[in-house]
Amino acid sequence: MKPEATRHRSARGQATTETILLTWLILLFFAATYQVYLVNQSVYRTMTAVHQKLFENAFDGNCYSDNDATCRYNSDKTANIIWRPQEFPEVKIRIVNLFTRWGMPTNLVVESIERPPAPSKGCDVPCKHTKLAVGNYWPILDCLIGFGCLK
């Protein structure tokens, strides 16, 4: 009689252990899903903020009402946006605390894989850049008459 009671007790212990392990796996799955959501949200918010700033600068650079030599189509730094954390706090990615205990860094940011860090420009990490050429094209009438519009 005693061996059967021991068998039931060990079966209950195994079921409890399996339930706890399964609960941890489900918790880990939900934490990983939430972390992917946080990264996606950070990237989306950063891209929309940069897009807004880019077109604000581009609108100022278009000067469509002025038709003089100072407002010509160019790709200078009129609409050049650097994704600095100081200007765009959205580049910082929030981290689920469960992963920080296992060594995931807490200061993750959206960064470039192409550019080196440039602390002189406010980029301690490799900052992404977005650039847009702005301005008016040369007047067609000036080109037809031959005023040297393509110098």
**For residue 111, is it within any domain?**
yes
Q: For residue 66, is it within any domain?
A: no
d(CA 119, CA 126): 9
Cα dihedral value 117, 123, 125, 128, nearest 10: -90
Is residue 59 one of the residues assigned to a domain? no
Give 102's pLDDT tier (boundaries 50, 70, 90): confident
**Number of domains observed in the structure of the chain:** 1
Classify residue 26: in a domain, yes or no.
yes
Q: Tell me, yes or no, whether 105 lies in a domain.
A: yes
Closest C-alpha among 121, 127, 113, 132 to residue 51: 132
Flag whether 108 is in a domain.
yes
CA angle 132, 141, 146 (to 5 degrees): 105
Q: Is residue 60 part of a domain?
A: no
Q: Which of 69, 91, 94, 93 is nearest to 82 (CA)?
A: 91
Tens-place pLDDT, residues 42-79: 999 999 999 999 888 887 777 766 656 566 666 777 78
List pLDDT tens digits, range 78-98. 788 888 888 888 888 988 888
User: Cα(68)–Cα(142) distance, rounded to whole angstroms?
Assistant: 12
134 inside domain: yes
Question: Which domain range does residue 99 map to?
Answer: 2-48+75-145
